[in-house]
Amino acid sequence: MPPREEMLTALRERDRSYDGLFYAAVTTTGIFCRPSCPARDPKPEHVEFYGTTREALVAGFRPCKRCRPLDAAAGTPDWAARLIARVESDPSARIKDADLRAEGLDPAAVRRWFQKTHGMTFQAYCRARRLGDAFVALRSGDAIDEVVFDHGWTSHSGFRDAFAKLAGAPPGEAAAAPDGSLIRLTWLETPVGPLVAGATDDALVMLEYPDRRMMEAQLDTLRRRFGRPLAPGDSPVFPALRAQLDEYFAGRRRAFDLPLEYPGSPFQRAVWDALLRIPYGETRTYAELARELGAPGAARAVGRANGANRLAIIVPCHRVIAAGGGLGGYGGGLWRKLRLLELEGASC
């Protein structure tokens, strides 16, 4: 995509020459638009940019009803417009090939049009809308059980599989890429809820709660930092991760022995390295951590770096608390932070 400032200028000037090069999503409304959209200009800090409609959809944004970003530049056939409207009216509904045939549509023709126009099949588009709404619900604090069953899935495993397909590379790209060139994703069940793990062949690079508000941002950061596609699958690191997490939650493990890779800014790395030095069963305040790093006035910056940690539990950001003894913040939810601290305190 063009540089951010260039895209902001194109959006502000409603420049049609940029239509199709990127899409602008407004975080305060949950809507994404073409650059030429006639809608009121959003504040720059509320705008996120995506290269394709697919990326905007899976991040949880709805297509704008004014500029209609899902319409092809040369016009959308009536049957496609009706299908899109049907999905938008109820994204959780399942539209099968039999339903398409009942409306006089050829499923293969529908698939080809969506693939050519939006880079995804019609079923992938439907799945993206369901998952997008599900991500929004998770970010809003809805319980994962409610999200799974209220957004068109009949089981946790169905949601998990759809999530893995969504986060990964396109199937052809993932199948053709050598294993070592991918970041593999897997789903782990733990006493504090599910976790999504990401690893190369050599190191663990992510361990996150799927209902965390920053989940999509963390996946995007992985793509940028490592320059590799994400795909569901297995890594040589995962068996050891599962075994050590089981031991940790059983109170039999106090330190993890896993290969880790966590690129970040120099300050972020310094904070994450300091987190690894906090002993099991102990805590530090944000201010104490800042003083340890030689930056006594940087407690807030320490908090931000703490929140950007991509390796929950393994890099123990849950051991950092507020100055008054309160829990402070935690991306996975304060109940999880309390549970982890209670576990470690009970095991000492």
Pairwise CA distance, residues 165 & 196, whole Å: 13
Pairwise CA distance, residues 213 & 218, whole Å: 10
Average pLDDT over residues 18-33: 87
Pairwise CA distance, residues 91 & 126, whole Å: 7
Is the predicted pLDDT of residue 41 greater than 80, yes or no?
Answer: yes
Cβ atoms 121, 114 nearer than 8 A: yes
Greater pLDDT, 50 or 256:
256
Confidence (pLDDT) at 177: 47
Nearest to 256 by CA among 240, 271, 269: 240
From residue 220, alpha-carbon distances to 140, 172, 322 in Å are 20, 20, 29
pLDDT band at 85 (very low <50, low <70, confident <90, very high): confident
pLDDT band at 170 (very low <50, low <70, confident <90, very high): very low
Confidence (pLDDT) at 144: 66
Nearest to 338 by CA among 275, 326, 347: 326
pTM above 0.75, yes or no: no
Burial 128-144 (b: 16+ CB within 10 A, else e): bbbbbbbbbbbeeebeb
Q: How many Cα atoms sit within 13 Å of 104 on the Cβ side?
A: 3
Most confident of 106-110, 167-171, 181-185: 106-110
Mean pLDDT, the chain, as a whole number? 82
Confidence (pLDDT) at 172: 43
pLDDT band at 176 (very low <50, low <70, confident <90, very high): very low
Confidence (pLDDT) at 314: 97
Tokens describing residue 300: 């807030």
Which residue's structure tokens are 């805590």?
283
Pairwise CA distance, residues 290 & 303, whole Å: 9
Greater pLDDT, 213 or 15:
15
From residue 36, alpha-carbon distances to 4, 20, 23, 29, 98 in Å are 16, 10, 10, 17, 37
Confidence (pLDDT) at 174: 42
Segment 287-340, tens digit of pLDDT: 999 999 998 888 889 998 998 899 999 999 999 998 877 888 888 888 889 999
Segment 205-258, tens digit of pLDDT: 999 887 676 666 777 778 778 887 777 778 899 999 999 999 999 999 999 999
Which residue's structure tokens are 């390796």?
311
Cβ atoms 193, 209 nearer than 8 A: yes
pLDDT band at 106 (very low <50, low <70, confident <90, very high): very high
Average pLDDT over residues 71-78: 71
DSSP-assigned letters across all residues of 190-242: -TT--EEEEE-SS-EEEEE-TT-TTHHHHHHHHHHHH---EEE---TTHHHHH
Torsion angle of C-alpha atoms 320, 322, 327, 333, degrees rounded to 10: -70
Average pLDDT over residues 257-286: 94
Domains and CATH numbers, the chain: 1-66 (3.40.10.10), 70-167 (1.10.10), 179-348 (1.10.10.10)
Q: What residues form DSSP beta bridges with 47?
A: 26
Confidence (pLDDT) at 309: 92
Confidence (pLDDT) at 74: 54
At 94, the amino acid letter reads R
* Residues carrying an active site annotation: 317
